[in-house]
């Protein structure tokens, strides 16, 4: 039996989970750094001034339904001064809707819709779980390969 082919066949799950776990952990850390930088942002209410369709709702090639996304203009007041900014990739809003935003007190023209650390923590935890699952799968693959080799030797020696 070809050893490399057997190892590759038996380690499919590990070869998926380990890189997926690493990617999720790295992405979670990037989002965590970004959101940690947003932690001092000030909460305020903004009024939607415009909502332009960015991408229509559609079904992708895998059959998954994709919702429409919009570019939304918002107007808000920070430190007694009025600002107007755009947010991209948003759900549907209508002019006049009120939304909660967060602005950077050092530069009120910088805004975001969230300052939560929940998403990066979930991404990091999911990545760690996938990575650990990949390691367990890799160890089990090696054990199975060794058992198969022992069985082949037993059959060969009669």
Residues 60, 57: Cα–Cα separation, whole Å: 10
Q: What number of other Cβ atoms are within 10 A of residue 34's Cβ?
A: 11
Number of domains making up the chain: 2
Res 158: pLDDT:
66
Question: Which of residues 113, 132, 149 is at a domain's end?
Answer: 113
Residues 141, 136: Cα–Cα separation, whole Å: 9
**3-class DSSP state for residue 10?**
helix
Residues 99 and 109 in one domain: yes
Res 55: pLDDT:
86
Taking CA atoms, 58 is separated from 16, 94, 127, 146, in Å, by 29, 21, 29, 49
CA quadruple 38, 41, 44, 47: dihedral sign: negative
Residues 93 and 148 in one domain: no
Q: Which residues contact 74 (CB under 8 A, 6 or more apart)?
A: 46, 47, 48, 49, 84, 85, 86, 87, 99, 101, 111
Res 1: pLDDT:
53
Q: What number of other Cβ atoms are within 10 A of residue 125's Cβ?
A: 13
Residues 134 and 102 in one domain: no
**What's the DSSP call for residue 69?**
E
Mean pLDDT for back-to-back runs of 10 residues, the chain (158 residues): 71 91 96 83 93 87 88 93 91 91 92 85 96 93 86 83
Residues 82 and 45 in one domain: yes
Res 84: pLDDT:
94
Is pTM, for the whole model, over 0.85? Answer: no
Six token digits for residue 153 = 């030797």
Residues 99 and 119 in one domain: no
Q: Which domain holds residue 100?
A: 41-113
Residues 12 and 52 in one domain: no
């Amino acid at each position: 039996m070809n050893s490399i082919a057997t190892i590759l066949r038996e380690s499919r799950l590990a070869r998926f989970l380990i890189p997926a776990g690493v990617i999720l952990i790295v992405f979670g850390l990037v989002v965590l750094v970004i959101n940690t930088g947003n932690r001092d942002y000030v909460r305020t209410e903004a009024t939607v001034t415009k909502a332009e369709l960015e991408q229509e709702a559609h079904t992708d090639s895998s059959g998954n339904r994709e919702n429409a996304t919009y570019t939304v203009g918002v107007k808000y007041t920070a430190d007694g001064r009025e600002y107007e900014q755009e947010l991209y990739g948003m759900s549907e809003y209508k002019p006049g809707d009120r939304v909660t935003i967060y602005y950077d007190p050092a530069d009120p023209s910088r805004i975001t819709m969230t300052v939560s650390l929940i998403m990066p923590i979930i991404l990091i935890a999911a990545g760690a779980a996938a990575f650990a699952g990949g390691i367990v799968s890799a160890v089990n693959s090696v054990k199975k390969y060794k058992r198969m080799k022992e069985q082949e030797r037993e059959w060969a020696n009669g």
